[in-house]
Amino acid sequence: MRLSLKTPLLLIFLFGSALSADAQNSYKVKTIVIDAGHGGGKPGAVGSFSKEKDIALQVALKLGRKFEEEMPDIKILYTRKTDVDVDFYKRAGLANDNKADLFISIHANSMPARNRTTKGTETFVAGMHRINEQDVAIRENADVMLEKNYKENYGGFDPKDPETFIILSLFKNKFRNKSMELARLIQNNYRETDNRIDRGIKEQGILILQRCGMPAVLTEIGFISNPEEERYMNSSAGQEEIVNSIFNAVKLYKKGNDTN
């Protein structure tokens, strides 16, 4: 089943609500949704001794606690706090329903089994992309196929159909620039503070980001397929660095965007 040409209009109506001029003039970061990628029967990428879903949850909970302790004026919502499966549309729906100001999704990257050397961080935002740049979008969106009634929930979305991505790419993300700003701040901290390899900011048709009606990023905190980075992401010190980098990026973003 394929998306009809009217689908982008429906997506814009449901998920692309823009802030009014008055709301933008009094904008403040008050609510943040932290999304631990995968979960339950969707382990994500698997390393030699750990799973992406577990690393993502550990980092997400630590990031949330840091906000709650150091910036208690910000409301923190979690898409999951345990090892459970949460459908993509419900994750984005949580952010949209609560009028969140930022959406941050935590993931771990992976390469094919023979590649154990690739390392580094990269952060994704929703946006236009070319057909030959769909690897990450396809990998992340593939979990949709594991959800019950996915055709009904996603209007016939098929993560294996290139036409789907072409249609979805027509939907303009009103919050692209702010998403790019936050992504840039996160990557800067990974590189300059943590001395991580910076693989840059990428625009991809990742469904969960496309559905968020606010600035949204998906940050890949390292490669679980790389033994060194797998150990780093599972260590207390490594997770603390990652959390601090994301937290300080949001803090700087908030300082630069909050208005009275």
Give the separation between CA 210 and CA 158, rounded to whole angstroms: 15
Q: Is the pLDDT of residue 97 over 70?
A: yes
Chain centroid offset of residue 228 CA? 23
Residue 13 burial (C-beta neighbours within 10 Å; 0-12, 13-18, 19+): exposed
CA atoms within 13 Å, Cβ hemisphere of 168: 31
Helix 236-257 × helix 227-234 angle, to 10°: 70
Task: Give the model's pLDDT for residue 23.
Answer: 43
240 or 9: whose pLDDT is higher? 240
Mean pLDDT of the region 182-200: 98
Confidence label for 177 from pLDDT (cuts 50, 70 and 90): confident
Task: Give the model's pLDDT for residue 7.
Answer: 45
Q: Give Cβ neighbours of residue 257 (< 8 Å, ≥ 6 apart).
A: 27, 29, 178
Average pLDDT over the chain reads 82
Amino acid at 176: R
11 or 248: whose pLDDT is higher? 248
Task: Give the model's pLDDT for residue 154.
Answer: 60
Domain ranges of the chain: 7-257
209: region left, alpha or beta (phi > 0 left; psi from -120 to 50 alpha): alpha
Lowest mean pLDDT among 32-36, 105-109, 154-158: 154-158
- Enter the CATH code of domain 7-257: 3.40.630.40
Task: Give the model's pLDDT for residue 140.
Answer: 56
Task: Give the model's pLDDT for residue 160.
Answer: 63
Q: What percent of the chain has pLDDT over 70?
A: 72
Q: Which two structure tokens, joined as six digits, stand for 240?
A: 């603390």
Confidence label for 15 from pLDDT (cuts 50, 70 and 90): very low
